[in-house]
Amino acid sequence: MKTAVDIAEAVRTGERTAAEVVEEHLGEIERREPEIHAFNLVLADQARQAAADVDRRVAAGESVGRLAGVPLALKDNLCTRGLPTTCSSKILDGWCPPYDATVVERLRVAGAVFVGKTNLDEFAMGSSTENSAFGPTLNPLDTSRVPGGSSGGSAAAVAAGFSPLALGSDTGGSIRQPAAFCGVVGVKPTYGAVSRYGLIAFASSLDQIGPFSATVADSALLLEVIAGHDPLDSTSIPQPAPSLMEAVEAGVDGLRIGLIRELLEGIDPDVAARVREAADVLSAAGAKVEEVSVAATIYGLSAYYLIAPAEASSNLSRYDGVRYGLRADASDITAMYEQTRAAGFGPEVKRRIMLGTYALSAGYYDAYYGQAQRVRTLITRDFDAAYEHFDALLSPTAPTTAFAFGAKTENPLAMYLSDVCTIPSNLAGHPAMSVPFGTGDDGMPVGVQVLAPALGETVMFRVAGALEAAATAATVMA
């Protein structure tokens, strides 16, 4: 399967047509999608049309974008004008947004070919894609296991070869954890690096859009295309997109990398072993690697499960049956609200709305939400202290490899623990990414997480590139 970098180059130079490329990927989708269910919607006709447009421009000698002819899958919480956008929820049934997300517009200008909208845990709330109203996505590497979540459809689409690139969103690990479970690369950029305009909100102070790909260089390319200031998002950082492609092969010689002690505790031994091996190969490549304590990260999970539901309960109040989606028949408006929301939301979304409403209610606001926000400050301070001595940090992406369907559905707290290593970066607003590095005892991929300070994407991609090179070399030798 070709990388996005290779496809874009071949299409630009006329070596291959975008039409051939898209047919090849639609063929894979036709063959395996009925089993995997990565997509809520496959955009075959639109993809063929977009590919034909790219080919026409190449033939006419016009300039084409950096992703010319590259198939790409969009998580189904990104607004696409005139095309259904569901968040895998019944409450948005039949809704077509009246505008495109900024990332969708930028990708279209860059010549990307959208092949479909991918499945997710309803409103991005979950870690396994089992919370989708349309049924789960299966892990392409072992269909008895979950692909992770919430961006499980996007991770599975890349892992199955349906598209070399996909976009997801990451509020507490929803890009990185499924990337780890499916053996692909997944990136959560610095908060504010990528415009959230047109991303349907879950927890606004934590949400960030980011890439999935099979290689580190492809994620660097995709992030270069989607990042950069957008006046339509008031939290967008007023800076141009960073330059990342050179960083992937720049090596780690002289870098100081810290292995986070607290995030190696309570981790499956085989996963922890891979992370220590990753530290060793970075050390062999010239980095100075040491263990470091980032003590407040142990409070991340608790703080997150107060902050994220609180923000979600507020953001999801807009689904009231008035302006879009589902409406239950009722004689008065309060009953209409209550019955629409009862019929439209699934159990996990209801649980989080309840938790968030409770945490924000009179008498509890300061003890829960206020306290969690102060703990958020403590976590950021501990990261800042670590970054005085280190350029980047390392941890597992998730405590386990991909688990079996149903393994954690009865116990919400057990499911939440799947995000224990990824949540601290969202709370701090820092970038972090997952890179596949070997396998666990069960043969499933292990993801190593590379963390960097705010706007530290360049150093993060240097470390990720070195890890990928070492992991590839190890596979070749085996």
Partner 1 sequence: MPNRITPDDVRSVARLARLAVTDEEVELFAVQLAAVLEHAEDVEALDTEGVPPTAHPLAMENVLRDDVARPGVDRAEVLAMAPASEAGRFRVPRILGEAP
Q: Which stretch binds partner 1 (CB under 8 A): 178-186, 260-268, 286-294, 366-374?
A: 366-374
Helix (H, G, I), strand (E, B), or coil: what is residue 9?
Answer: helix
> Which CB, 157 or 372, lies closer to partner 1?
372
Number of Cα atoms under 13 Å in the Cβ half of residue 220? 24
Among 56, 374, 473, 475, binds partner 1 (CB under 8 A): 374
Classify residue 7 as left (phi > 0), alpha (psi -120 to 50) or beta. alpha
Verify binding: residue 205, partner 1, rule CB under 8 A. Answer: yes
Which residues pair with residue 117 across a beta bridge? 41, 74
Q: How far is the CB of 150 from partner 1 (least distance, A)?
A: 18
Q: Which stretch binds partner 1 (CB under 8 A): 169-177, 270-278, 305-313, 466-474?
A: 305-313
Q: Among this protein's residues, is 150 annotated catalytic?
A: yes
Residue 191 CA to residue 205 CA, distance in Å, equals 8
List of E strands, 120-271: 165-170, 185-188, 208-213, 256-260
- Name residues contacting partner 1, limited to 6-35 (CB under 8 A): none
End-to-end CA distance of the chain: 21
Site string for partner 1, 385-414 (x = CB under 8 A): ---------------------------xx-
Q: How far is the CB of 323 from partner 1 (least distance, A)?
A: 6
Sheet containing strand 113-118, edge to edge, reads: 39-42, 113-118, 71-75, 165-170, 208-213, 185-188, 432-439, 445-451, 392-396, 256-260, 288-292
Among 269, 334, 443, 477, binds partner 1 (CB under 8 A): 334
Are the beta carbons of 157 and 133 closer than 8 angstroms? no
Which residues pair with residue 396 across a beta bridge? 448
Q: Which stretch binds partner 1 (CB under 8 A): 11-19, 65-73, 275-283, 421-429?
A: 421-429
The whole-angstrom distance between residue 168's C-alpha and the CA centroid of its chain comes to 4
The residue from 89, 174, 395, 418 that is catalytic is 174
Are the beta carbons of 288 and 257 closer than 8 angstroms? yes
The type of residue at 392 is A
Among 341, 346, 447, 463, binds partner 1 (CB under 8 A): 341
| Gyration radius from the chain CA atoms | 21
Q: Among this protein's residues, is 418 annotated catalytic?
A: no
Q: Among this protein's residues, is 63 annotated catalytic?
A: no
CA distances in angstroms from 399 to 132, 272, 418, listed in the order given = 23, 8, 6
Residue 288 φ then ψ, to 5°? -100, 110
Residue length of the chain: 478
CA 245, 11, 116 angle in degrees (round to 5)?
85
Verify binding: residue 299, partner 1, rule CB under 8 A. Answer: yes
The residue from 88, 89, 132, 150 that is catalytic is 150
Are the beta carbons of 256 and 288 closer than 8 angstroms? yes
Verify binding: residue 321, partner 1, rule CB under 8 A. Answer: yes
Verify binding: residue 318, partner 1, rule CB under 8 A. Answer: no
Query: What's the token pair of residue 131?
Result: 């919370």
Binding-site size, partner 1 (CB under 8 A): 70
Q: How far is the CB of 435 from partner 1 (least distance, A)?
A: 23
> Which CB, 107 or 296, lies closer to partner 1?
296
Among 34, 61, 98, 443, binds partner 1 (CB under 8 A): 98
Q: Which stretch binds partner 1 (CB under 8 A): 24-32, 54-62, 175-183, 427-435?
A: 427-435
Written as one string, the DSSP assignment of 106-152 is HHHHTT-EEEEEE--SGGG--SSSTT-TT-PPPPTT-TTB---SSSH
Site string for partner 1, 53-92 (x = CB under 8 A): ----------------------------------------
Helix (H, G, I), strand (E, B), or coil: what is residue 317?
Answer: helix
Question: How many CB atoms neighbour CB 476 within 10 A?
Answer: 7
Helix (H, G, I), strand (E, B), or coil: what is residue 25?
Answer: helix
Verify binding: residue 331, partner 1, rule CB under 8 A. Answer: yes
Verify binding: residue 337, partner 1, rule CB under 8 A. Answer: yes
From 401, 465, 441, select the one nearest 185 (Cα to Cα): 465
Verify binding: residue 231, partner 1, rule CB under 8 A. Answer: yes
> Which CB, 113 or 237, lies closer to partner 1?
237
Among 14, 15, 49, 96, binds partner 1 (CB under 8 A): 96
- Name residues contacting partner 1, limited to 135-194 (CB under 8 A): 191-192
Q: How far is the CB of 428 from partner 1 (least distance, A)?
A: 6
Q: Which stretch binds partner 1 (CB under 8 A): 3-11, 35-43, 363-371, 397-405?
A: 363-371
Q: How far is the CB of 102 from partner 1 (least distance, A)?
A: 14
Query: What's the token pair of residue 250?
Result: 């720049």
The type of residue at 323 is R
For the annotated catalytic residues, the residue numbers are 75, 150, 174
Which stretches of the chain bind partner 1, using CB under 8 A? 94-96, 98-99, 191-192, 205, 231, 234-235, 237, 298-299, 301-303, 305-306, 313, 317, 320-327, 330-339, 341-342, 345, 350-351, 353-355, 357-358, 361, 367-368, 370-378, 380, 412-413, 416, 427-430, 454
